[in-house]
Amino acid sequence: MAAPTVPESKQLQYISQQAADSRVNVEFETEDGMTLNIGPQHPATHGTLRIITRLDGEQVISCEPVPGYMHRGYEKLTEVRTYPQVTTLINRIDWLGSFANEVPFILAAEKLMEIEAPPRARYIRTILFELSRMANIVLFLGDLGAQLGGVTAVFYAFRDREFVLNQIEAVTGGRFHPNFDRIGGLKDDLPKGWIAETKKCMTRVHDFCDELEDLLIGNEIFQARTRGIGVIPANVGLSYGLSGANIRGSGVDWDIRRDHCPPGLVYDKADWKVCTHPDGDSFSRSWVRLQEVRESAKIVDQLLDSVPSGPVMAKVPRIIKVPEGEAYVATENPLGQMGYYVISKGDLVPFRVKIRSASFNNVSIVPWVTRGVFVPDVITILASLYFILGDIDR
């Protein structure tokens, strides 16, 4: 490897200057703080998020996340891709729950074209959506354990996530990037025997939740590390645009799936509940996520029983031109609210797509919530906020 062209002293100077520049309100001042640079490559960051912390002893004075190491410019790229091509790109935003990324974009295009998927497609869409939520959050729960020092959980998570991924793969052909959702329906129907297999898989997911509740959530050390750490009041969280389990962990009873589900998904056909926790700390966020996996498995279980027959694709033109207009569709993705603001000019390609990803807002609260905490708690807070770098950088 070639030697770095910038001398170390310059680098240090740069780092400390950046930290000094971060205009975060500090509650206490020091003459000579210490600057600790976490990342870009750090196990706690799920990718390449760099965090510059300025410390006084072990306490964080200020903390500034530096995203952008993985910025792929999807908003620009979508302007030169046809609508069906866009789903290939946006799959890679939140790569652990890829199918869920496609759905809001497809729904926005369907809204502009004023077509609706047939009932069977909407059921399967919802089922796959929930499967990707499970695959995503199951890994979160394991990873949470690993980051707090309980490495066992991560092996359980990787093992059981594979069962969910197998089901997704059986339908879509891809473990991670299904690219399965189409404007007007789905690419294909379910394979034979899939429903029975998935029901077995749901039992496993329930078992995993019980296992993990004993192993991790109920663990004394885990609770000591997470209870009361990184408390986010509801109004602060909302003004930062926190969504999903992060805001339900602060006691806000709001779930897009239940409250204003966009047409094209059938959450109203299942009996399930939205879990909230009033504390707003790292523990409550993790707890809410665990319950969400359970509810998600319940939804899938019920929907599997009632998948209607019929086609999986509506009649759509072969060359898809989306009529002029603007539409914003947001769904409750594994990481929080994800939405696409699509502006169409009646062309083959979108004129502008604003991608509102959940992690971007969820991580922007980090400077606020890490003020005055201790260094290990920074890791707890980051882990409990749960972000995917692709979802921040897009």
Partner 1 sequence: MNQLSSADTEAPPADQQAEAPRDERREALISLFSAEIGDAVVGTHIRAGDDLWIRITREAWLETARFAQQRLRMDFFDFLSGIDWRPSPYGRDMDSQEDIVVHGTEPKEPPAMATGYAGGDTRFQVFARVFSTASHEGVTLKADLPDDDLSIDSWVPVYAGANWHERECHEMYGFTFNGHPYPVNLYLPGDFEGFPLRKDFPLLARRVKPWPGIVDVEPMPGSDDDEGAEGGDS
Neighbours of 200 (CB within 10 A): 10
The site string for partner 1 over 214-243 (x = CB under 8 A, - otherwise) reads: ---------------------xx-xxxxxx
Using CB atoms within 10 Å of the CB of residue 371, give its burial: 0 to 12 exposed, 13 to 18 middle, 19+ buried: middle
Q: Toward partner 1, which CB reaches closer, 71 or 159?
A: 71
Backbone angles phi, psi at 182, to 5 degrees: -125, 160
Q: How far apart (Å, rounded) are the C-alpha atoms in residues 183 and 185?
A: 6
Whether a cis peptide bond, with omega within 30° of 0, leads into 40 is: yes
| Residues in binding contact with partner 1, number by CB under 8 A | 56
Could you tell me the smallest distance in angstroms from the CB atom of residue 89 to partner 1?
A: 13
**Among 138, 139, 209, 327, which residue interacts with partner 1 (rule: CB under 8 A)?**
327
Q: Where are the alpha helices (DSSP H) in 52-118?
A: 74-77, 83-90, 98-113
Per the structure block, which two tokens stand in for 257? 């799936």
What H or E segment, with its residue span, contains residue 295?
helix 282-305
Both structure tokens of 317: 């033109």
Segment near partner 1 (CB under 8 A); pick from 39-47, 51-59, 291-299, 364-372: 364-372
Residue that the structure tokens 């089901």 belong to: 167
Under the binding rule (CB under 8 A), the answer on residue 3 touching partner 1 is: no
Q: Mask of contacts with partner 1, 365-384, x by CB under 8 A? A: x--x----------------
Q: Which stretch binds partner 1 (CB under 8 A): 72-80, 134-142, 186-194, 299-307?
A: 72-80
Give least dist CB 136 to partner 1, A: 21
What is the smallest separation between the CB atom of 262 and partner 1, expressed in angstroms?
9
Binding flag, residue 343, partner 1 (CB under 8 A): yes
Options 170, 364, 371, 374; binder of partner 1; rule CB under 8 A: 364
Residue appearing with tokens 């998904």: 265
Nearer to partner 1, 136 or 361 (CB): 361
What track of x and - describes contact with partner 1 for positions 278 through 317 (by CB under 8 A)?
---------------------------------x--xx--
Backbone angles phi, psi at 325, to 5 degrees: 155, 180
Q: Enumerate residues 79-138 that contact partner 1 by CB under 8 A.
A: 79-81, 111, 114-116, 118-119
Written as one string, the DSSP assignment of 194-235 is HHHHHHHHHHHHHHHHHHHIIIIIT-HHHHHHHTTSS---HH
Scanning residues 38 to 67, which ones bind partner 1 (CB under 8 A)? 67
Query: What CA–CA distance (Å, rounded) separates 122 from 120?
Result: 5
- Cα gap 381→362, rounded to integer Å: 11
Name residue 206's amino acid.
H
Q: Are residues 35 and 53 in contact, defined by beta-carbon separation less than 8 angstroms?
A: yes
DSSP of 22-51, one letter per residue?
Answer: -----SS--SS-EEEEE-SB-GGGSSB-EE
Q: Identity (one letter) of the amino acid at 301?
A: D
Tokens of 245: 């389990």
C-alpha 369 chain-centroid distance? 19
CB of 254 to partner 1, least distance (A): 4
Binding to partner 1 in span 247-266, by CB under 8 A: 252, 254, 259-260, 263
Q: Tell the smallest beta-carbon distance from residue 166 to partner 1 (Å).
A: 30
Least distance to partner 1, CB of residue 346, Å: 10
What's the closest the beta carbon of residue 221 comes to partner 1, in angstroms?
33
Residue 210: CB minimum distance to partner 1, A: 31
Query: Site mask, partner 1, residues 19-38, x = CB under 8 A?
Result: --xxx---------------
Residue ranges that bind partner 1, judged by CB under 8 A: 21-23, 67-68, 71, 73, 75-77, 79-81, 111, 114-116, 118-119, 235-236, 238-243, 252, 254, 259-260, 263, 311, 314-315, 325-328, 330, 337, 339, 341, 343, 345, 348-349, 352, 354, 356, 360-361, 364-365, 368, 393
